[in-house]
Structure 1
């Protein structure tokens, strides 16, 4: 019998005909490829690109940091990013079902991904809710975080202009044009030599008090020991976030694909506007130079390389099941290789763009207060909820700048949430196809569950809960999960077979560079990151609050609860499989089913 010439030659020209599988509902696909690209970019570009990358970059050597950052991108982040896009596009299913087609005993990895994604949704959306609160608070003649005459302010509150005067005393031979600060002081021009006051470095900035005493109202909580009741205004903000997410996801990619035209594009428009405005402020150039000036000696420290690896991994986001889910709706012959290169380049470019936008403002803040940039920059969310808001509130048209800035933060956060929850939805609906007809109901139930579970983060002590989740919900466990995913694809399913899968989609196999990265470099990259993350793990912190030991135990239990799904499923699957020890292992290692779109053509085999 002569093989059908239309079939790809697999295993040295040998083909294996596989029986046609049971009919399933036809899988939907993206209306436009642009919608897929925007969804991927929207997920990868999140709040961390705005506040985490700029701080990590300048802390680790400025322009010199870009060298380890790009090295980690090329050898670690990008290969994993490409692998997950290709895997999802070929298998056309979510994070649970895909393991039946790769290595059934690793299905626990898919369960872990769903658990981690759920944990993240319980706190990440609260950060978006904070931005929502700031957004609506910006619709005033003057942003409320600029003054100290509000009900939430303490007697120690100081405005931006008052702190400028305080710093003025440290440089008595300088003069300051207070017209630059949007009329926040009745004095339009201050000669520092004329100031005669007590130099008091202790102050509570008006922007800090607005965030902590009005938005969070954390003065009514002493910590996790007493988080207090639910703050109803914040819970309403959180509810509004989930309502937006619901209507973006309820119809699947048909609805989310339309939403990303706004949520993924608008942040770039705002970032460019903020960069242009920020570059006109006094001290902006100092901020930019501080951001990009290379400190090559920093490259000799291991910490810089660890931070570069962690930043590129968490920025691109492989392993969260999102790339797998989004690419599963692509057409079979879509060029996912070019998609991986383009979207990862956009992601890194966005980080740099955000860095310039942020550091023009930090340079301005440092210049205005006669401080170094190290003194005004913050490594946490305080950068986007305290420092940056205060800066834009001191320039002309402050309300406008505040409105577009916080709207940008909202859209950045929403895109990431769309992806994270879609990973859960796609994973579950692919595992139980009959539920697809009830998608709207399932999405409602998922939103309600996440909202109710997230109410703890809207209490008066919610910030402490958010910090606990931020340290333990994903950063540690996801590294081991992705390591196992990489091992399963590269060593059990096989790089050779995976390369043939890609060849059947793109017409040519991936180059030797990618195969080496998948088989050796990426697994080592991930395992090293995981070990270092566990070894160097620092407990959560906020201000001077010390987290009690029992809360740290809960945090590590959170990590274990996600990871234990892997061995638990392995044991259950082993015990429920019939046959001898070897027969069971064989059934657990080799794929149980073939993708419908492949089996119909009769070309799918496993090595």
Structure 2
């Protein structure tokens, strides 16, 4: 029996994609998708993947986690987790998407049909993320609009939204700071942009913020006209949205390095604390950071790679894009901490006192406050928030393209020829789902969705995906 199997020609099952036989014919999955859209250029694909992986989290999450977990010493577990966890999963999704050339739902017909629910879970998670992630971009758009003034509105306490607790102590030694004191940047963000003082937690989120509603409408308009024709249009848009952030990062890095006290921030960022390496939580944080940074499990890599030629070198693509992503995170740390060192110098406090905030507060309170006190503050505010908008749009393009590709590949007879209408309907659903995040208590809703919408869910998805590919792929028909 073993001799017969060794000499018999490879069997090709009609319902399963096998290895191409020796006569150089392609698998059945390829012949079924000859009419599938393809990237106009290889660089369109690379920029789309980089744009998805490099998002707002690279600007604030990595620097914060790095200094919290041992500074320069954190780079050791981060690199190990990237080599043995993040990059292999990243590569696995690129391979699967490129080989089967289909989205996150229908691909499981060819891997293991019983795991098809993973594809639907990916689409649901993608919708959850779109409900809050685009709202953060809308906040950045509002800041971008507000930056077009000779004096930035968050630099003083002389505005209608300020309270008696507003204290502008930046660079002043005769100001008394109390537990009730609020900086002008904080009151601009919480009271003027969000209006969170009018809400009472999740129990009462208040009314809509119409300024933010307009901003979100503009964001989704850009998203729609970037995605409605497929990768041929989105592949052109990313030439701007994926490259502009790097130009802005280098400008901000040069400016930050010339500020007084910048060296304090860099030392605080990179000072190694070797004892942290014995803490299990540090290794968990490293795994979580590299995982959410590269983005396996969101279905985006499957979708983007499915438009590649069958013989594309996706191994090289995985190495290039993952390295660019990790180096961008590292570079962003210098951009952030040079400015935090400057703030510590001006306030005459320790860097850790101004680096205690994480998340949106770092992007919308701490960094804008530092920019407002620089020479040429208007220019740096404009390019900073423009960078945030482009970083967010790239990730939105990828996230929604994953949902679009998955559903269109699963139901080609129903919506296969109606992409423009389907994308319009999906954008309307996402816009409607985001309305709760535009209320006066919308920041609470954003926090809720951020914590529970994708965190544990996406980890479970990747865990099941790895099991299916490792143990079931090729074992069932």
The answer to whether 1:406 aligns with 2:401 is: no
The answer to whether 1:449 aligns with 2:429 is: yes
Q: Distance in 1 between matches of 2:458 and 2:180?
A: 41
Shift in Å, 1:164: 3.3
Q: Distance in 1 between matches of 2:184 and 2:42?
A: 46
The answer to whether 1:91 aligns with 2:100 is: yes
> CA offsets per residue over residues 511-543 of structure 1, 9 Å max, x none?
xxxxxxxxxxxxxxxxxxxxxxxxxxxxxxxxx
Shift in Å, 1:138: 0.2
Q: Which runs of 5+ in 1 are unaligned?
A: 1-9, 169-194, 495-588, 592-607
Shift in Å, 1:290: 1.1
Q: Distance in 2 between matches of 1:214 and 1:235?
A: 14
Partner of 1:331: 309
Matches within 5 A, 1:540-551: none
Shift in Å, 1:436: 2.4
Partner of 1:427: 406
TM-score, with structure 2 as normaliser: 0.93
Bigger Rg, structure 1 or 2: 1
The answer as to whether partners of 2:65 and 2:285 remain within 8 angstroms in 1 is yes
The answer as to whether partners of 2:264 and 2:351 remain within 8 angstroms in 1 is no
Q: Distance in 1 between matches of 2:243 and 2:120?
A: 32
Partner of 2:10: 15
Partner of 1:62: 71
Shift in Å, 1:24: 5.9
Change (3 A) 1:220 1:339: same
SS at match of 2:164: coil
Partner of 1:225: 203
Partner of 2:252: 274
The answer to whether 1:476 aligns with 2:456 is: yes
Aligned-residue CA RMSD (Å): 1.6
Partner of 1:594: none
Q: Distance in 2 between matches of 1:27 and 1:75?
A: 33
SS at match of 1:153: coil
Partner of 1:206: 184
Change (3 A) 1:72 1:11: farther
Shift in Å, 1:403: 0.4
Q: Distance in 1 between matches of 2:397 and 2:6?
A: 40
Pick which of 24-33 and 221-230 moved more. Answer: 24-33
SS at match of 1:14: coil
Shift in Å, 1:219: 1.3
> CA offsets per residue over residues 178-228 of structure 1, 9 Å max, x none?
xxxxxxxxxxxxxxxxx5x75646410000000000110111111111101
Q: Distance in 2 between matches of 1:199 and 1:449?
A: 45
SS at match of 1:51: helix
Matches within 5 A, 1:276-295: 276-295=254-273
TM-score, with structure 1 as normaliser: 0.74
Change (3 A) 1:431 1:12: farther
Q: Distance in 2 between matches of 1:97 and 1:239?
A: 32
The answer as to whether partners of 2:248 and 2:383 remain within 8 angstroms in 1 is yes
> CA offsets per residue over residues 357-399 of structure 1, 9 Å max, x none?
0000000001110111111111221001000001011111111
Matches within 5 A, 1:110-509: 110-159=119-168, 162-165=169-172, 168=173, 200=178, 202-377=180-355, 378-434=357-413, 435-493=415-473
The answer to whether 1:590 aligns with 2:472 is: no
Q: Distance in 1 between matches of 2:171 and 2:164?
A: 18
> CA offsets per residue over residues 473-505 of structure 1, 9 Å max, x none?
0010111111111110111115xxxxxxxxxxx
The answer as to whether partners of 2:167 and 2:177 remain within 8 angstroms in 1 is no
Change (3 A) 1:480 1:255: same
Partner of 2:45: 36
Partner of 1:188: none
Q: Distance in 1 between matches of 2:218 and 2:416?
A: 25
Q: Distance in 1 between matches of 2:455 and 2:177?
A: 42
SS at match of 1:287: helix
Change (3 A) 1:154 1:423: same
Partner of 1:78: 87
Shift in Å, 1:163: 4.3
The answer as to whether partners of 2:161 and 2:192 remain within 8 angstroms in 1 is yes
SS at match of 2:358: coil
The answer as to whether partners of 2:33 and 2:101 remain within 8 angstroms in 1 is no
Q: Distance in 1 between matches of 2:44 and 2:6?
A: 36
SS at match of 2:455: coil
